[in-house]
Structure 1
């Protein structure tokens, strides 16, 4: 079977996608390293941070994080069992409880955030604010485009 040939821009996109996937792997590993002293992982850190930013249901948090609802539910339930997160009634939806951080969850998140600040400040200084903002704009634009295409199919 002959695959259609790629255009130069198609090759550039494929290389970009591979580099973003590699970066995601590195970011997950670094996130695990930063979260580990607080007994957490990158995934658990993400759910704690989502619960801190606003009172969200598990489904809302999953959408915001770009993750599967079932995975976020599993992590949220573990965090609740460990006393880091609590569920409260959702006036908008009887079954979709809202996540909130407990004082223990706030403390764990504060520890991780303190370590993360040192790490991001050093990398940000090395890479440069303007380059990072340009890269962020490109990734944000591409994520929106892919989201629109998914929604239209």
Structure 2
């Protein structure tokens, strides 16, 4: 069984790398990076502070702060007052930020459809179930 788990881990790492490269290519169509796309996405439903966004993305606050600063400089994100914390502003999309995000998401939708048609929806569903099962088992180890 450990050989199967090791093979799965290797395959998941390979897939993660391919997904990162694909995400970079998709975001590049609009002059963005995957990190910038992820940040725009995470604040698209509701304004968040940088620490909140970092927790949702599972990355460091410092990494998210750098991306947030770039997006503010590019006027894709604006900072607003936070009634819960004076020194931690809320990040929200500007109109340009929403338009860029929508265009990136449209490109991703086309690519996701292409992959789904290539491998088949049943394969994607089975893979998702398997990944969720392994994820659940790993969380149970804590």
The answer, yes or no, to whether TM exceeds 0.5 is yes
Structure having the higher Rg: 1
Q: How large is the Cα RMSD of the aligned pairs?
A: 1.8
- 1:124 matches 2:124: no
1:30 CA displacement: 0.9
Distance 2:56 2:89 in 1: 16
- 1:110 matches 2:102: yes
- 1:14 matches 2:6: yes
Q: Which of the numbers 27, 31, 49 marks the counterpart of 2:23?
A: 31
Between 1:124-133 and 1:27-36, the stretch displaced more is 124-133
Q: Which has the higher contact order (CA 8 A, sep 6+)?
A: 2
Deviations 1:28-51 (A, max 9, x none): 111111111211011111111111
- 1:73 matches 2:72: no
1:118 CA displacement: 0.8
Structure 1 segments unaligned to the other structure (5+ residues):
1-8
1:144 CA displacement: 4.5
Structure 2 segments unaligned to the other structure (5+ residues):
none
Partner of 1:64: 56
Deviations 1:1-44 (A, max 9, x none): xxxxxxxx222111111111111111111111111121101111
Number of corresponding residues:
142
1:141 CA displacement: 3.9
Partner of 1:5: none
Between 1:60-69 and 1:75-84, the stretch displaced more is 60-69
Q: Which of the numbers 43, 46, 70 marks the counterpart of 1:51?
A: 43
TM-score (structure 2 length as normaliser): 0.88
